Amino acid sequence: MNRVVGLFLVAFLAWAQAQAHKEAVELSMANHDQVLASATVVFVAFCADWCPFSRRLKPIFEESARVFHAENPQASVVWGIVDSQRQADVGDKYFVNKYPTMKVFVNGELIAKEYRSTRSVEALTNFVKFQLSTAINEFSSQDHLRANIDATKRNIIAHVRKEGAAYSNIKKIAAILREDCQFWLPSDGVSASIAVADAALVFEDPDNAGEPVKFTGNFEDYEFLKQWITDKCIPLVREVTFENVEELTEEGMPFLIYFRDPDAKQDDKLFAEAVARELADQRGSVNPLLADGHKFAHPLKHLGKARSDLPVLAIDSFQHMYLFPDMSQLAVPGKLREFIADLHSGKLHKEFHENLDQKMVELAKAKAARGFADEEDDVAGPPAAKPETSPPPSVFKELKPSEKRYSILQKSEL
């Protein structure tokens, strides 16, 4: 027996033994695929022995596994723990850079949103129960659907038979995107009357009062269907709040933030249209966000702006913040795309310092013209005349994961 096969068998037997006793299993690359395929829900805690927050969580997580399985012995759930020192490759696979991190897999697929709530047995077990609950809302008629649907949320409405690939695929996707969209499928009576050839699926957007968007692809092509629904449920432009800002910073992309007056949301459409027109092919390079300019007054202040200046568009690169130079140009084709390209090329930072040098020259000339009486006055100068020496520092960098709750792994430690 070669060493690789031996390691696999050891890992598999350890997992099987843990499952037999309904305990948390140690997840490794050797048993990774088998564990994810073995249960409807796999809840994983990435821990590090050197991290005090991990040491506090681990016994709670293990007790949660025991309590959950005692209360739900037939549930298709695995609780997994990754030791970051022994199984660093698993953490690398899922880009874990803080400890502890808790991720959940449903039907073998990673849910984008991590678990960030209370670290108690009750909270953890309730979270897993929620993942097991159905993500599907059923309707018995069009009248029933219209009476119960929440038009303020994004909705996926499918008319498909309950048996078959279409229903199965939509149900799997719903479990992954349940926090981003509401999913509606027909009840048994309605389902039985739908012919396979008449299968239909539409997306209804609360921000668009127009006709629902119809899916025209193959329902049996799971990856294509999932991508289509994902694109609809997770819009190109999202709202940043104090509740989700930590999660958004972890996506690692610079923020393109449209600060607007919350009472003038009609301007949101102008920004959304500009993003769709200019940046639809730039997913992964920048994170377009809407922000309440009243709640996020602190970043505005750093930019030298106030409520009276709204709307304001800026980039936060997590190092510096840069203002879109002229809001009247937002609707001009190419201007927003150019702004993003200038960030990634370094042009924004370079131009700031070039402008700064010119301002320093102009300030020196102004001082000379005023004829300062002594060196002290010359050094101090009028406060309003002193230019900034660098772009405003990032504010949203300070809203990344709290060091009071996580041990952050620095790049130098990777």
CA proximity to 382, closest of 358, 365, 359, 363: 363
| Cα(117)–Cα(113) distance, integer angstroms | 11
Domains and CATH numbers, the chain: 3-132 (3.40.30.10), 136-233 (3.40.30.10), 235-414 (3.40.30.10)
User: Does 274 score more than 50 pLDDT?
Assistant: yes
Task: Say whether pLDDT at 15 is over 70.
Answer: no
- Cα 77 from Cα 347, distance rounded (Å): 51
Evaluate if residue 260 carries a pLDDT over 90. Answer: yes
**What is the structure's pLDDT at 375?**
47
pLDDT of 376 over the 50 cut: no
pLDDT digits over 276-334, tens only?
Answer: 999 988 777 899 999 999 999 999 998 999 999 999 999 999 888 999 999 999 999 99
- Count CB neighbours of 268 within 10 A: 16
pLDDT digits (tens, 9 = 90+) for 378-394: 444 444 444 454 678 88
Confidence label for 366 from pLDDT (cuts 50, 70 and 90)? low
| Tokens 């298709």 found at | 76
| CA dist., res. 299 & res. 291, Å (int) | 10
pTM, to two decimals: 0.74
